[in-house]
């Protein structure tokens, strides 16, 4: 029996990472190793997703398939090259690490301008450390978590991948630098292949309600905040809606919210695409190397008030709110043009806004205190 390729997922314990690990296991085509320092996550997430993966196996699954639902976990930090080398050194021969999905990063826009060096250290130096160890171990496949934030304020919406890359925050610049470093690596080494996925606004949770987003402290992002308000937290003063005077249908900002399970699925599309020479045809790439970047969005814009209505419908909480001034750095509309990912990766986000709000509420109501609930 042939051995399944092993994929390393740094950041696999986090919100997006845990769903990516799960969907990768559910293909039954890969084995997974996670490297995480738990800066913003809990080991419980991995335990829980292993259980979901086991439960979803057919009754006649072999012992090997059950064993393959187990994730190898290394506690370690991308800023420390030895931590990464230790992971690669643990696998040799047929079991060597075949590819990497780099999800780990620091990701809070506001915080990034307060502690920029930490952001560059994790998101840029961490990436360079990873690429160095990958090269030393002849591991030449990478899927990279990028962000729609690299587009800054786009000149037109929906946003195609060819839109100018002009991030407006430290965080955004670390993500763009990451893309550039990876692109140059692909240019230098013809055997190195990489796909950057520019996520729009990931939302919701796995439909089991067993894994989901568990931010530390008061959430700065809209959906986790709504979910926590609905279970009774942060209600004082009501929801602050940041502006209702934008040039959008109801005056509030429009975003392209994409169900986390759809988004996670896009990583499997990318892993499979890395195997195909056709997506790296010269005329499709701006570069000489095997590097592509794709939007992962739904292509449907939703306003702040649309999201509040959706969460009210599932939770029954009224969300008293007050419109306050615009939040610094917000842009009126960030909606993806998802056509390229559909055409080249075969990726389509099919889950609806109702699915997102239902699954988010299912997770939050079952786990009012996140992973520390039980």
Among 149, 174, 228, 295, binds ligand WQD (CB under 6 A): 149
Smallest separation (angstroms) from ligand NAD to the CB of 335: 14
Straight-line distance from the first to the last Cα atom of the chain, in angstroms, rounded to the nearest whole number: 40
Q: Does 357 bind ligand WQD (CB under 6 A)?
A: no
Binding segment (CB under 6 A) for ligand WQD, from list 12-20, 158-166, 219-227, 276-284: 219-227
Give the closest residue to 9 by CA, choosing from 78, 103, 114, 138: 103
Binding residues among 37-66 for ligand NAD as defined by CB under 6 A: 37-41
- Dist CA 289 CA 192 (whole Å): 8
Give the CA count within 13 Å in the CB-facing half-sphere of 94.
4
Q: Which does 126 bind (CB under 5 to 8 A by kind): ligand NAD, ligand WQD, none?
A: ligand NAD
Site string for ligand WQD, 255-294 (x = CB under 6 A): x---------------------------------------
Give the closest residue to 371 by CA, choosing from 50, 44, 75, 71: 44
Site string for ligand NAD, 64-103 (x = CB under 6 A): -------------xxx-----------------------x
Angle (CA) 362-197-111 rounded to 5° is 70
Task: Give whichever of 111 and 184 is closer to ligand WQD, judged by the CB atom.
Answer: 111
Binding residues among 248-277 for ligand NAD as defined by CB under 6 A: none
Among 133, 134, 222, 302, binds ligand WQD (CB under 6 A): 222
Q: Does 142 bind ligand WQD (CB under 6 A)?
A: no
236 burial via Cβ count (<10 Å: 0-12, 13-18, 19+): exposed
What are 200's two structure tokens?
């729009």
Q: Which does 362 bind (CB under 5 to 8 A by kind): ligand NAD, ligand WQD, none?
A: none
234 burial via Cβ count (<10 Å: 0-12, 13-18, 19+): middle
Q: Which of 144, 171, 291, 371 is catalytic?
A: 171
Contact 10, 139 (CB under 8 A): no
Q: Does 298 bind ligand WQD (CB under 6 A)?
A: no
- Dist CA 104 CA 119 (whole Å): 12
Q: Does 304 bind ligand WQD (CB under 6 A)?
A: yes
Cα–chain center distance at 15: 7
Smallest separation (angstroms) from ligand WQD to the CB of 43: 23
**Antiparallel, parallel or unpaired: β 254-255 and 239-242:** unpaired
Q: Does 92 bind ligand WQD (CB under 6 A)?
A: no
Smallest separation (angstroms) from ligand WQD to the CB of 222: 4
- Listed in sequence order, the residues at least 6 apart from 248 whose beta carbon sits closer than 8 Å to its beta carbon are 254, 301, 303, 332, 333
Q: Which residue ranges make up the site for ligand WQD (CB under 6 A)? A: 107, 109, 147, 149, 201, 220-222, 225, 240-242, 253, 255, 304, 327, 330
Q: Which residue ranges make up the site for ligand NAD (CB under 6 A)? A: 10-11, 13-17, 36-41, 77-79, 103-107, 122, 126, 145, 147, 199, 201-202
């Amino acid at each position: 029996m042939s051995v399944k390729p092993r994929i390393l997922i740094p950041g696999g314990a986090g919100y997006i990472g845990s769903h990516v690990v799960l969907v990768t296991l559910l293909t039954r085509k890969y084995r997974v190793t996670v490297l995480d320092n738990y800066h913003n996550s809990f080991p419980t997430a991995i335990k829980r997703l292993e259980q979901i993966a086991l439960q979803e196996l057919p009754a006649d699954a072999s012992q090997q398939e059950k064993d393959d639902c187990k994730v190898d976990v290394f506690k370690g930090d991308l800023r420390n090259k030895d931590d990464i080398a230790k992971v690669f050194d643990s696998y040799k021969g047929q079991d060597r690490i075949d590819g990497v999905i780099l999800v780990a990063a620091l990701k809070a826009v506001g915080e990034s301008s307060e502690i920029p060096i930490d952001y560059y250290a994790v998101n840029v130096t961490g990436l360079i450390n990873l690429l160095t160890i990958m090269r030393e171990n002849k591991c030449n496949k990478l899927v990279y978590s990028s962000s729609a934030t690299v587009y800054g304020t786009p000149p037109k919406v929906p946003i195609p991948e060819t839109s100018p890359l002009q991030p407006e925050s430290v965080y955004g610049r670390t993500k763009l630098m990451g893309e550039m470093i990876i692109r140059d690596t692909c240019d230098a080494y013809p055997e190195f292949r990489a796909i950057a996925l520019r996520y729009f606004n990931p939302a919701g949770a796995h439909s089991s309600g067993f894994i989901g987003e568990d931010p530390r402290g008061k959430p700065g992002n809209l959906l986790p905040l709504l979910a926590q308000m609905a279970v009774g937290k942060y209600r004082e003063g009501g929801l602050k809606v940041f502006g209702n005077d934008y040039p959008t249908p109801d005056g509030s900002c429009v975003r392209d919210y994409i169900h986390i399970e759809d988004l996670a699925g896009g990583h499997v599309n990318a892993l499979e695409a890395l195997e195909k020479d056709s997506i790296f045809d010269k005329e499709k790439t701006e570069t000489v190397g095997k590097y592509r970047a794709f939007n992962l969005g739904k292509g449907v814009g939703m306003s702040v008030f649309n999201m509040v209505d959706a969460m009210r419908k599932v939770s029954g909480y009224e969300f008293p709110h007050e419109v306050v001034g615009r939040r610094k750095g917000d842009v009126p509309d960030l909606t993806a043009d998802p056509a390229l990912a559909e055409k080249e990766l075969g990726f389509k986000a099919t889950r609806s806004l109702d699915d997102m709000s239902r699954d988010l509420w299912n997770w939050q109501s079952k786990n009012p205190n996140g992973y520390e609930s039980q």
